[in-house]
Structure 1
Amino acid sequence: MIRKAALRTIELEAQSVANLANYINDDFEKAVTAILNCNGRVVISGIGKSAIVAQKIVATLNSTGTPAVFMHAADAIHGDLGIVQPNDVVIIISKSGESPEIKVLVPLVKNFGNTLVAIAGKADSYLAKAADLFLNTTVNQEACPNNLAPTASTTAQMVMGDALAVCLIEERGFQREDFAKFHPGGALGKQLYLRVRDLYIHNEKPMVSPDEKLSSVVLEMTQKRLGVTAVTDGNDHLLGIITDGDLRRLIKNNVPDANSLTAKDIMTANPVVIAPDELAIEALDILRKRSITQIAVVDNGIYLGIVHLHDIIKEGLI
C-alpha cells in the first residue's frame, strides 16, 4: 500500500506538470517580457502553501540575475505593501484565486499601477480575471487522497515559476560566471569560482634538481609532506615529477644500486599539469580521470606548486 500511494502521488504530480505545457501561451511570453523590461524588481506574494512556493521562486530569481522580493499577502494588507515600488512587477500566487487576503490585495496593487501577474489554478477566479496577465496552473486532482491538501497544485506553481526563471536566464544570456557572483557560498558556489591558484599557495613547494640523489629526494618529500616533489632546472622549469608511488615501486622491484640513482633517473617526464587560473573543480576532474592524488601547477612552463586531493576535499568540492 505504501509503494502504491507513493507511485500514485508521483503519477498525479507528473501529469499535472505535463499539463502545464497547454498553458504556455501569449500571457506567459508577455510576463517574461514585462519582467525583462522592468526597471524595478519582481515582488511575489501569496498565502499559505502558495506563500512558500513564492519564496522559493524569489530565491531562484535572485540567484539567476532577476531582483526579486517576497511579500506575504496577509502582511501586505497590514503595512508591508510599502515593499511595492512604482517600477516593480507584482506576481500573486494562489490555487483558488479567491482567498480573502488576495481579494483585498489585488485592487491595492492595481491602484498602484503595477503590472500584475496571476499564477492561479482557476481561470474564472477573482485573481485571474483581475490580473493583467494570467499564468494558468490548473490541476485536475491533488495527490492528496482527499483531494484537499495542496500537493499537485503547489508542484505546478513551482514548475511555472521555474519556467519563468529559465526563460529569463536564457533571454538575459545569464552564464555560469554570473551565477557564481550571486551564489558564492557552499560547494556549488566554490565549483564556479574557486581556482587552482587559491589552493596551491597554501602548500609547501617541494622541488629538487635533476642531479640530486635519491636520499635528497626522499628528504624533500618527507619535509614537504605532499607525497610528491617536482624536478626543476635552475630557472624553475618543470622537468618531471616524483611521487611516493614511484619510490614504493623502486623498493618493490629491488632496483640495484638504488642509492646511486638521481632525480632524473626516477622522475616521470612531461607529467600532467594544470594552470593556476583553472577552476579547482577542473583539477578534481583530472585527478579522478588519472587516478592520481596530486597535480603540479605550471604557468608557461614555470613550476608554481602542488595541488593535493586533500586540498579539494577540505574545500568541500567532494
Structure 2
Amino acid sequence: MAIRKGAKVVRQEEMAYLSDDSSFYGDETVQKDMEERASSFKPTEWWEHAAPSLTKIASTNLASATVAKAPKLYNPYEGNPCGRQLNESVDEFLRRLPPASTPTSSRVPWIFVANPYRKAPKPNNEGELAEGPPDDDSQWAKFVVEGGNLLEELVVLKNKIEKEKAGSTKATITKALNVQRNIIVEKLLDTAVEMHCTSGKWMIFCPPEEVNDVWAVVARATVDNDLGIAAKVAPDNGEDQRPRLMCIYTKDFSDRADVTRVVQKLKELGLIETRGSKIYYKCDAYTFLGLGSKNEYQIQASLYNSGDFLGSKRPASKGKENGYFYKKKDHGDWKSMEYE
C-alpha cells in the first residue's frame, strides 16, 4: 500500500496498548469490580433515582409551561336584550342601545352594563333587575318584609310621641321624633347588611343631549373594572327635556373605601364637576322600600353625597340628627355625619 509522503508510520508493536493485556482496562482488581457492578446494574431502578440533568429539567419545564389563562368573565344580564352581552364590544353595545334614542319599553326598561370581572348571579324574579346585581346570599324579598315592619314601627312611634307630647312645642316633638327615626334607620341598615342586600349607587342626572357621551364613559369604565359592579341608564321615555338618571353601582354601601374609590374615579373621568353640583349615593335597600326624596317617614333618601368624600371638610366625631349615615368600623354602629 502506498504511503503518503510525510505521514508517520505506526509500527505494530506501538499498537500494543490497545490489546486485552493492556492496563487501559485497569488491573485485575479494577476489572473484577467493574464486571460485578455491570452484572448487578438495574437500569430501571437507576433511572428512578437518577438526578435529572439540566437539559432534562429544562425540557420538563418547557413541556409543563402553559399560557396564562384568560380570566373568567361574568354577566348577570346575559341573554337579556337590555344589557350588554359578553360577545359584543362596548362600541357595539353603545350602537345597539344608545340611551338618547332607545325608547323605553317592557323589554328595555333600563339599559344595563355589568362589570364582567365581578362574579354575580343572574337576577331572579324578585325584581332585582331594576337595581344592582345581587349577591348569591341576597335575601331581597325577606328584607322588604322586615324593612316594611320597621317602617310601620316608626309610624307607631311617631303617633305615640305626638300623643304623649301634645301641647309641646313643634321643636320638642321634632327632636323626639328624630331620635326614634335614627334608631329605625340604624335597624334598617343593619338588617340590609345582615341579609346581604347592600348594593347601592351613585346617581348622575344629565341632559338628554349629553346622555350618550356620558354613558359611553361610564360603560367603558365599568367594563374595564374601573368603577363598580354595574351601571344603568334610563332610555328615552318621550320627555325630551327631562334629565336622564344614570346609576353607578357599588357592591356594599357600608364599604366606605369602595364607595370613595368609585366617586373619586367618577371625578377623574370628569363626571362630577361637569354636572355643576354634588351627586348623591342611595342604597338599593331604600329603593326597594320606596323611600324617595319626599317619603312619609321623613327619612333622608340618600346615604351620602360626593362632598362627603371629595370635599375638604372631614366628618366630625359627633353626629347630627337625621343626617347622612355611615358605618364606623371601630364601634360597629351607624353614625351620622356632621362637619367641623
- The two structures have a TM-score, normalised by structure 1, of 0.19
> Which of these two proteins has the greater Rg computed from alpha carbons?
2
- Write 1 or 2 for the structure with the bigger share of strand: 1
- The two structures have a TM-score, normalised by structure 2, of 0.18
- Write 1 or 2 for the structure with the bigger share of helix: 1
